[in-house]
């Protein structure tokens, strides 16, 4: 197990985090149900611009209704099972953020939709005008990343930068 202050281990973990973020296409969303008694979960393709994550999601999903109401939410990203070096230690991160709904039709809405089309293909042009869908901007605030056995770090700020090392896999 690398030492807590091992610079190489920190750089390696930071690189793995950047690689995960660069390769991932979808964000998972965990939140509480509308009445707060149960847990909800969903997944959505995302684009990332200047550190901000954007998802375009339908309020037909209970998890979407919950986050639009301001319920606590935790986002997570995980490498595919098929690329995990060890299934017990899939590289993954989770974070909390500030959510803002981008109003349909304004300049930013149009720009981000265009970006979605470029990154995630023609579906966006089909669903762009569906009024049950909402464009949500997520500014990352804090989180944690696990890059292997005994390698977990806190993350901070819009760029999800590694701060302190954790003694457990968060």
Determine the interface stretch with a second copy among 5-13, 21-29, 47-55, 105-113 (rule: CB under 8 A).
21-29
Q: How far is 61 from 59, CA to CA, in rounded Å?
A: 5
125 binds a second copy (CB under 8 A): no
Determine the interface stretch with a second copy among 14-22, 71-79, 107-115, 133-141 (rule: CB under 8 A).
71-79
Binding test (CB under 8 A) with a second copy, winner from 11, 49, 60, 110: 60
Binding test (CB under 8 A) with a second copy, winner from 28, 52, 99, 141: 28
The torsion region of residue 115 among left (phi > 0), alpha (psi -120 to 50) and beta comes to alpha
Query: Which residues are CB-contacts of 155 (< 8 A; sequence separation ≥ 6)?
Result: 17, 93, 95, 140, 142, 143, 144, 145, 161, 162, 163
Q: Enumerate the β-bridge partners of residue 52.
A: 49
Beta strands in 36-132 (DSSP E): 39-49, 52-58, 73-78, 92-102
Helices (H), the chain: 7-23, 62-68, 107-120, 123-127
Binding test (CB under 8 A) with a second copy, winner from 6, 15, 39, 51: 39
- Cβ proximity to a second copy: between 96 and 108 the closer is 96
- Cβ proximity to a second copy: between 9 and 92 the closer is 92
Residue 4 DSSP symbol: T
Binding test (CB under 8 A) with a second copy, winner from 6, 15, 72, 159: 72
Binding residues for a second copy, total number by CB under 8 A: 41
Using CB under 8 A, list all residues that contact a second copy. 24-26, 28, 30-32, 37-41, 43, 45, 58, 60-62, 72-74, 76, 78, 80-83, 86-88, 90, 92, 94, 96, 120-121, 123, 127, 168-170
């Amino acid at each position: 197990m690398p030492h807590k202050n091992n610079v190489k281990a920190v750089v390696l973990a930071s690189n793995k985090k950047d690689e995960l973020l660069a390769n991932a296409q979808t964000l998972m969303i965990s939140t509480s149900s509308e009445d707060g008694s149960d847990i909800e979960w969903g997944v959505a393709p995302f684009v990332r611009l200047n550190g901000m994550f954007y998802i375009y999601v339908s309020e037909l999903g209970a998890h979407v209704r919950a986050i639009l109401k301001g319920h606590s939410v935790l986002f997570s990203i995980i490498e595919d099972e098929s690329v995990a070096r060890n299934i017990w230690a899939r590289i993954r991160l989770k974070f909390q953020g500030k959510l803002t709904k981008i109003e349909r039709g304004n300049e930013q809405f149009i720009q981000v939709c265009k970006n979605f089309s470029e990154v995630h293909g023609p579906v966006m042009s089909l669903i762009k005008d569906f009024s049950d869908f909402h464009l949500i901007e997520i500014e990352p605030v804090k989180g944690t990343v696990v890059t292997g056995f005994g390698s977990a770090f806190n993350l901070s700020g819009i760029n999800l930068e590694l701060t302190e090392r954790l003694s457990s896999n968060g």
